[in-house]
Amino acid sequence: MKRGKLICMVTVVLLGAVLILNTNVDFGSNTDTENFLVVGALPGAKAKYIFFFIGDGMGLAQRNAAEIYLASTKEGLAPESVKLTMNSFPAQGMSTTYAADRLITGSAAAATALATGHKTNIGVLSMDPTKTMNFKTMAEMAKEKGMKVGIISSVSIDHATPAGFYAHQPSRNNYYEIEIDLANSNFDYFGGGGFKKPNGPKGDQPSAFEIVRANGYTVVNSRAEFDRLSPGVGKVLAIDPFLDSSKALYYEIDRNDEMISLAEYTRKGIELLDNPNGFFMMVEGGKIDWACHANDATSAIIDTLAFDKAINEAVKFYREHPKETLIVVTGDHECGGMTIGFAGTHYESFFEKIQHQQMSYIEFNKILQEYKETHTPDNAKFEDLIPVIQDSFGLIVLSDKERTQLEAEKSESAKQKLSMVLADYEIQMIKDAFQMSMMEKEVRSKDEQTYLIYGGYEPITVALTHLLNQKAGIGWTSYSHTGVPVPVSAIGVGSSTFNGYYDNTDIAKKIMFIGGLS
Restricting to residues 119-158, name those near a copy of itself by CB under 8 A.
122
Question: Is 474 in contact with 340 (CB distance < 8 Å)?
Answer: yes
- If the CB atoms of residues 77 and 439 are measured against a copy of itself, the closer one turns out to be 77
Least distance (Å) from a copy of itself to the CB of residue 276?
Answer: 21
Only segment of 39-47, 142-150, 236-244, 265-273 that touches a copy of itself (CB under 8 A)? 39-47
Q: How many CB atoms lie within 10 A of CB 446?
A: 9
Rule CB under 8 A: is residue 21 a binding residue for a copy of itself? yes
Window 348 to 387, contacts with a copy of itself (CB under 8 A):
348-349, 351
**What are 49's strand-pairing partners?**
279, 325
Q: Is residue 25 involved in binding a copy of itself (CB under 8 A)?
A: yes
Per CB under 8 A, the segment of 17-25, 127-135, 221-229, 408-416 that binds a copy of itself is 17-25
| Site for a copy of itself contains 425 (CB under 8 A) | yes
Which ranges of 275-423 would DSSP assign to H, the alpha helix? 287-293, 297-320, 361-374, 382-393, 400-409, 412-418
Which positions from 288 to 317 touch a copy of itself by CB under 8 A, shown as an x/- string? --------------------x---x--x--
Quick one: 61 or 212, whose CB is closer to a copy of itself?
Answer: 61
The answer to whether 32 contacts a copy of itself (rule: CB under 8 A) is: yes
* Residue 387: CB atoms within 10 Å: 10
Q: Interaction with a copy of itself in 85-114: which residues (CB under 8 A)?
A: 85, 87-94, 96, 98, 102-104, 106
Query: Cα separations (Å) of 384 from 380, 429, 462?
Result: 8, 16, 18
Q: Is 236 in the site for a copy of itself (CB under 8 A)?
A: no
Q: How far is the CB of 158 from a copy of itself (least distance, A)?
A: 22
Cβ atoms of 476 and 306 within 8 Å: the answer is no
Phi-psi region of 80 (alpha: psi -120 to 50; beta: other; left: phi over 0): alpha
For the bound state, the minimum distance from the C-beta of residue 418 to a copy of itself, rounded and expressed in Å, comes to 15
Whether the CB-CB separation of 252 and 302 falls below 8 Å is answered with: yes
Q: Measured between alpha carbons, how far is 307 from 20 in angstroms, rounded to an integer? A: 32
Residue from 24, 245, 374, 379 in contact with a copy of itself (CB under 8 A): 24
For residues 57-86, which are near a copy of itself according to CB under 8 A? 60-61, 64, 68, 70, 77-85
* Nearest to 483, CA basis, from 108, 93, 98: 98
| Pick from 148, 153, 178, 152: nearest CA to 166 | 178
Which residue number, 185 or 266, has a Cβ lying nearer to a copy of itself?
A: 266
Closer to a copy of itself by CB, 387 or 451: give it.
451
* Residue 322 touching a copy of itself (CB under 8 A): yes
Rounded Cα distance, 448 and 452, in Å: 6
Shortest CA distance to 330 belongs to which of 311, 313, 314, 303? 311
Query: Residue 473 carries which DSSP code?
Result: T
Q: Which of residues 451-510 bind a copy of itself (CB under 8 A)?
A: 451-452, 455, 473, 475-485, 487, 489, 491-496, 499-501, 503
Q: With CB under 8 A as the rule, give the number of residues binding a copy of itself.
A: 99
